[in-house]
């Protein structure tokens, strides 16, 4: 999961890293938190789609599906990604100043190396 969190942080830095005070990586962390906030919204949209298909029926199956969607998208995925981002910053913090920490992100077409901190 650290790789997924690294990809999220690197994407957030690419999309929103303005290079102004207080620093582009702080802005990237804020943007990553913004992206993490979409998972509960996605969960509510999935629940709405399930309800559209099942109607207003609350049986064991629909309650189980709602619970799985809610736990996965509103608790587990954001928690794991936030912990991954925290571990990346923790790994950076234990290095000596001047060391370079690299986060490798990969896409379907190529592999890029993003320099996180120096």
pLDDT for 44-97, tens place per residue?
999 999 999 998 888 999 999 999 999 999 999 999 988 888 888 777 777 655
Please name the residues in contact with 115: beta carbons below 8 A apart, sequence gap of 6 or more: 100, 101, 102
* Pairwise pLDDT comparison (108 vs 106), residue with the higher score: 106
pLDDT at 46: 96
The whole-angstrom separation of Cα 18 and Cα 26 is 10
Cis peptide before 115, with omega less than 30 degrees from 0?
Answer: no
Torsion of the alpha carbons at 63, 65, 68 and 71, rounded to the nearest 10:
-60
Mean pLDDT value across the chain: 78
H or E stretch at 68 = helix 60-71
Work out how many domains the chain is built from and give that number.
1
- Its domain, for residue 95, covers 2-117
Q: Which long-range contacts (CB under 8 A, 24 or more apart) does 104-107 make?
A: 104/3, 104/6, 105/6, 105/7, 105/10, 105/11, 106/7
pLDDT at 87: 82
Question: Residues 89-118: what's their mean pLDDT?
Answer: 53
Given a cut of 60, whether residue 117 has pLDDT beyond it is: no
Q: Which of 22, 29, 21, 34 is nearest to 116 (CA)?
A: 29
């Amino acid at each position: 999961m650290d790789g997924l969190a690294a990809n999220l942080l690197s994407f957030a830095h690419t999309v929103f890293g303005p290079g102004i005070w207080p620093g582009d990586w702080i802005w990237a962390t804020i943007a990553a938190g913004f992206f993490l906030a979409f998972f509960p919204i996605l969960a509510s949209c999935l629940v709405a789609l399930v309800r559209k298909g099942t109607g207003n029926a609350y049986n064991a199956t629909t309650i189980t599906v709602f619970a799985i969607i809610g736990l996965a998208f509103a608790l587990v995925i954001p928690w794991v990604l936030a912990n991954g981002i925290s571990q990346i910053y923790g790994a950076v913090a234990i290095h000596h100043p001047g060391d370079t920490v690299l986060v490798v992100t990969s896409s379907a077409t190529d592999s890029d190396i993003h320099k996180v901190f120096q």
